[in-house]
Chain A
Amino acid sequence: AQKVTQAQTEISVVEKEDVTLDCVYETRDTTYYLFWYKQPPSGELVFLIRRNSFDEQNEISGRYSWNFQKSTSSFNFTITASQVVDSAVYFCALSAGSSNTGKLIFGQGTTLQVKP
């Protein structure tokens, strides 16, 4: 079975604080892809990052960074010096399976509120 768990339903921080969004995944496949999407209040889904199972290097993009650890089946997302514009729902997703259909399994999402 494949599953993505985002245990944090809602997080509230004050602007400039660092915040980490947790993502734990389950799959028996050795080849898989992990994703993060952002859904701002306007409702669209914005792609943030894709990581394949063979690449455990952490990635940094501006204030965003991702920590992929296969040993704990986690793919956590950190926002450094948060800003009000970071307020959104963030989804972690998994794509796996030998049939290679590309379908994503999403976590429940974490609502991040950044207060000024």
Chain B
Amino acid sequence: NAGVTQTPKFRVLKTGQSMTLLCAQDMNHEYMYWYRQDPGMGLRLIHYSVGEGTTAKGEVPDGYNVSRLKKQNFLLGLESAAPSQTSVYFCASSTLPRELFFGEGSRLTVL
């Protein structure tokens, strides 16, 4: 009954460090998404994937990379973290045209 699982839930980085957020879904969904949530700005799409081996840019892709090597996993990478990337990150999955199922979020702070 896991649904969408994000790891880690919390992380503090120093400027310039790199890290990877992992999203795993057990619903056999084709579509997966990474959003970031900032105060007063709602959720903004970073990258998304319409199937295994595919990725595409969303609204705010700069500074992030993604990979979808396995259908159930969608990784979000920060190669050189910046304070502007301090945010709450949400992963989601779906099977069209259904609603998106979201993970619990990952809070990232970049000092």
Binding site for B on A (CB under 8 A): 4, 6, 9, 33, 35, 43-45, 47, 50, 52, 91, 95, 100-109
Q: Determine whether B50 belongs to the interface, using a CB cutoff of 8 Å to chain A.
A: yes
User: With contacts A9-B40, A45-B90, A91-B43 known, is A103 near B58, CB below 8 A?
Assistant: yes
Chain B nearest Cβ from A2, distance in angstroms: 11
Most chain B beta-carbon neighbours within 10 Å: one of A6, A52, A104, A106:
A104
Q: Determine whether B99 belongs to the interface, using a CB cutoff of 8 Å to chain A.
A: yes
20 intermolecular pairs with C-beta atoms under 8 Å apart: A4-B42, A6-B42, A35-B99, A43-B88, A44-B104, A47-B99, A50-B98, A91-B42, A101-B56, A102-B31, A102-B97, A102-B100, A104-B33, A105-B45, A106-B42, A106-B43, A106-B44, A108-B40, A109-B40, A109-B42
Instruction: Give the complex CA separation of A109 and B44 in angstroms.
Output: 12
A-chain residues with CB within 8 Å of residue B94 when the two chains form the complex = 102
Q: Which residue of A lies closest to B104 (CB)?
A: A44
Could you tell me how many residues of chain B have their Cβ less than 8 Å away from some Cβ of chain A? Answer: 25
Closest 7 CB pairs of A and B: A106-B42, A45-B102, A106-B43, A47-B99, A108-B42, A102-B96, A102-B31
Chain A nearest Cβ from B56, distance in angstroms: 7
Partner of B97, one of A52, A107, A108, A109: A52
Q: Determine whether B48 belongs to the interface, using a CB cutoff of 8 Å to chain A.
A: yes
A-chain residues with CB within 8 Å of residue B99 when the two chains form the complex = 35, 47, 50
B-chain residues with CB within 8 Å of residue A107 when the two chains form the complex = 42
Instruction: Give the complex CA separation of A44 and B100 in angstroms.
Output: 13
Instruction: Give the complex CA separation of A42 and B10 in angstroms.
Output: 14
Partner of A103, one of B40, B41, B48, B101: B48
B-chain residues with CB within 8 Å of residue A106 when the two chains form the complex = 35, 42-44
Chain B nearest Cβ from A9, distance in angstroms: 7
Instruction: Give the complex CA separation of A47 and B92 in angstroms.
Output: 12
B-chain residues with CB within 8 Å of residue A108 when the two chains form the complex = 40-42
Q: Is A104 touching B100 in the complex (CB atoms < 8 A)?
A: yes
Instruction: Give the complex CA separation of A75 and B66 in angstroms.
Output: 33
